[in-house]
Amino acid sequence: TIKTPRAGRKLYGIPESGTPQLPSGEAKLPSREAD
């Protein structure tokens, strides 16, 4: 699960409940928990 403040999610253009998708298709954020 990814722990990001709402502001951070908006920054990445991520819905409140969802996984950030990078162009490469990988879900990555500077701070994330192990699944």
Q: Closest Cα to residue 20, out of 8, 35, 34?
A: 8
CB-based burial of residue 34 (10 Å sphere; 0-12 exposed, 13-18 middle, 19+ buried)? exposed
CA R_g for the chain: 9
> pTM, whole model, 2 decimals?
0.16
12 φ, ψ (degrees, to nearest 5): -90, -5
Asked if pLDDT for residue 22 goes beyond 60, the answer is: no
Q: What is the pLDDT of residue 17?
A: 55
Write the pLDDT tens digit of every residue in 4-14: 555 555 555 55
Number of other CB atoms surrounding residue 17 within 10 Å: 6
